[in-house]
Structure 1
C-alpha cells in the first residue's frame, strides 16, 4: 500500500465516452488507436468485507463501471488478491485476466481504521480485451530481490490485429521512497531499479516497442529525480524514454502534486503516443481506491 492517491478521472460523470454495461462491442477497427491504462485497486479482495479496504457489492459494481468507462484495450492493475478478485472490477466477458504467479506471504493486520482486518495478498496483473492476442512472457522475478513480499513484474506482448506488437511490463515497486534517498524504504527501491533497468535495456534491443507501467511508488516527474535519471539514459538507443505524465499534475487528491503511477514508453512507443489522460471522481464522489487510473492513447 502506498497511502498516496494518484488520480482517477472517474465520476460517474466522466469525460470518456461510455457503452451501456452488457452491450455488445465490436472489435477495434484495424489501425485504430490503442488505449493502455494502469490502476492500483487498493487491496482488492475476492470477497466482500475482506482486507484493508473492505468493500460491498455496490463498491465492486462502481469499480466495474469505472473500468468499463475507461474502455482501455489493456489495463495493468496492482493490489488484487486473486484473478477472481480482479474479475469483480474487470468484466470477464470483456477481459482476459493474467496475474503474477508469486503467491506472496501476506500476514498481520491492517492499520488505521481497519486494524482488526487481516492483510491480503497484493498482486500485479493485466486485464486484456478478449479480441487482442497476446503472449505471456516469464514474470520478472528479479524485482522481488528474493523477498516474497516484493512484487514481481508481469511481462506480456500484445499482438493486436493490424497494429504493431507492443510489449508491456506491469510493475508495483516498493512503497515509501517517493522522492530523495533518505526514507527507510529507499535502499530496497534502489536495489529494484538496476533489475528494472536490466529489463528495459534488454527490451530496448528487441524488435518490439515497449511500455513499463504501474505503481512505481516514485515521483519520477520531479526535477532531477535520481531514479528517472538512472533509467532514462538513452543506452541502448530505444531506452531514450518518455514519461507520459511529464509536466502534468494529478488532480484527484489535492494533497499531491506529482504522480507515482506512471506510464513510461520507450523511444518507439513514445513516438506513437497521442495523449495521456486521467479520470476524475465527481466532487464528493466516493473514492473506491486510493489510486486513480491513468492512461495513454497510442497512434496504432
Structure 2
C-alpha cells in the first residue's frame, strides 16, 4: 500500500512539473509614438516658421516674409533637424499634413489605452516606434501600475519597449542588442538595435526578442531583393547574421525563445520565392561563405541548426470577415494590388495602413501556440482628420500598423 501511494506521488509530482505555462504575447508598432513631453516639443518645432536659404536649399527658422510652417516642409531639408531626436512633421496626413494639436494627441493616447484594455489581453506586449518607456506608460490601462518595463534607451527616437504584467514572473535580464544596429556603419546607415527580455516563469526561462528591422526592403515580389544593391536592402542584409547569432546564443542556456516585432520583411513571400535562398545555392544550415548573399531572411534565421534554436514563424490570421481573411491569405501568396491593400486597410477590414506582411511572431522548440497569430483590426481608429485649425474635431490614427497577438504554451 505504501509503495502504491509513493508511486502515485511520483506520478502526480511529475504531472505537476510537466504542466505547461501559458503566456499571451503581442507586438505593436505604434507609428512614431511619443510621450506628451516630447509631443509638446515636437509640436513647437513643427509650428515654427522657416524660410529657405537659396544658397543651400535648407530651411532656417525665421520671421521674414515668405516663410513656411514646419508642418509643410520635408524635415530633412530643415537645417539642424535631427530625425533621431524628433519625428518628421508629416507623421499624420489627411489630404495634407495634419497640424497636430496637443488635445488631439491626448485623445489618441486615450484611444490606444482603451484599445489595449479592450482588445489586447496580453501578458507581454512588445512595442516598436515609441519614444521610450514613458510613452508606453502613458497608454497602458490602469495608469501602467500592472506592468513592468524593459526599454531601449539612447539611440534614435523610434525605440523599442517591452511591457509585461508584474504578476507573470521574475525578470532575469533586459538587454539592448546593439549588434543589430550595425555599430560599424556610419550613423546614416545604422538601423535600430534589438531588445531582449528574459523572464523566469514557473521556474522556466522565457526569452523575448523585440525587433524593428530596416525598412523599405519588404518583398522579393515587389522589387525588395535582399541580395540587391539598393541601400535599404543592403542594410537589411547586414542584419541577417547578427540576428541569427543572437537566436543561437539565446537558446544555448535552455531558454524558450520568442522572436517578434516589425521585421519590415514579408516572410511568406520569401518562402514562396522559387529561387535558392542564397546566391551560391548553398544550404542555409551551413555557415554562409564569404561574399555570398542571402535572398531569404526567414530561411537563414530558421534553418534548423542548432536544433534548440530552430524557430518557426506562426501562421497568421486576420480577425475580420471571411472576405477579409481571404484577402489576407492572398497577401501571403502574392503582392496585393493597390486597391486590394487599400481595401484591407479600410475601416471595415483591418483599418491600418500597413495591414499585413511586416509583423511576425516566431517561436522556438518547446513552445506551442493555441492557434495562429492574429492580426487585430483597429477599425476606424486608423484614420486621420485634420479638423479646424487647433480644433477639438481633429483626430489622429492610433497607428499605421495593426497589433498582432498569439497565445503560447511552454
Q: Same fold (TM over 0.5)?
A: yes
| Equivalence for 1:109 | none
Contact 2:171–2:200 (CA under 8 A) maintained in structure 1: yes
Aligned ranges 1:148-167 → 2 under 5 Å: 149-160=190-201, 162=202, 164-167=204-207
Task: Please tell me whether residue 66 in structure 1 is matched to residue 102 in structure 2.
Answer: no
Contact 2:313–2:362 (CA under 8 A) maintained in structure 1: yes
Residues 296 and 186 from structure 1, CA distance in 2 versus in 1: closer, same or farther, beyond 3 angstroms?
Answer: same
| Equivalence for 2:166 | 130
Aligned ranges 1:237-276 → 2 under 5 Å: 237-245=307-315, 249=328, 251=344, 252=350, 258-269=356-367, 272-275=368-371, 276=373
**Greater RCO (CA < 8 Å, at least 6 residues apart):** 1
| Equivalence for 1:291 | 401
Q: Which one of the candidate residues 225, 231, 252 is aligned to 1:205?
A: 252
Residues 139 and 58 from structure 1, CA distance in 2 versus in 1: closer, same or farther, beyond 3 angstroms?
Answer: same
Structure 1 gaps of 5+ residues are: 1-29, 105-120
The TM-score with structure 2 as length reference comes to 0.56
Contact 1:204–1:236 (CA under 8 A) maintained in structure 2: no
CA displacement at 1:299 relative to structure 2: 2.3
- Report the secondary structure of 2:176's partner residue: coil
CA displacement at 1:78 relative to structure 2: 0.6
Aligned ranges 1:180-199 → 2 under 5 Å: 180=220, 181=225, 182=228, 183-199=230-246
Instruction: Give distance in 1, aligned partners of 2:353 and 2:106.
Output: 29
Contact 1:95–1:129 (CA under 8 A) maintained in structure 2: yes
CA displacement at 1:31 relative to structure 2: 5.8
Structure 1 residue runs of 4 or more that deviate by more than 4 Å after TM superposition: 253-258
CA displacement at 1:267 relative to structure 2: 2.2
RMSD: 2.5
CA displacement at 1:165 relative to structure 2: 2.5
Q: Could you tell which deviates more after superposition, 147-156 or 197-206?
A: 147-156
Q: How big is each residue's C-alpha offset from its partner over 1:75-102, in whole Å with a ceiling of 9 and x where there is no partner? A: 0001111211111222421212221133
Instruction: Give distance in 2, aligned partners of 1:88 and 1:255.
Output: 23
Q: Which one of the candidate residues 140, 152, 176 is aligned to 1:90?
A: 140
| Equivalence for 1:278 | 375
Q: How big is each residue's C-alpha offset from its partner over 1:229-264, in whole Å with a ceiling of 9 and x where there is no partner? A: 111110000232211135873752598784211111
Residues 72 and 175 from structure 1, CA distance in 2 versus in 1: closer, same or farther, beyond 3 angstroms?
Answer: same
Contact 1:221–1:247 (CA under 8 A) maintained in structure 2: no
| Equivalence for 2:261 | 214
Q: How big is each residue's C-alpha offset from its partner over 1:239-298, in whole Å with a ceiling of 9 and x where there is no partner? A: 3221113587375259878421111111222xx211222211235764410011101101
Task: Please tell me whether residue 80 in structure 1 is matched to residue 121 in structure 2.
Answer: no
Q: Could you tell which deviates more after superposition, 42-51 or 92-101?
A: 42-51
Structure 2 gaps of 5+ residues are: 1-18, 43-86, 93-99, 274-294, 319-327, 332-343, 345-349, 384-396
- Report the secondary structure of 1:56's partner residue: helix
The TM-score with structure 1 as length reference comes to 0.76
| Equivalence for 2:181 | 144
Q: Which one of the candidate residues 153, 158, 178 is aligned to 1:101?
A: 153
Instruction: Give distance in 2, aligned partners of 1:78 and 1:45.
Output: 11
| Equivalence for 1:107 | none
| Equivalence for 2:296 | 226
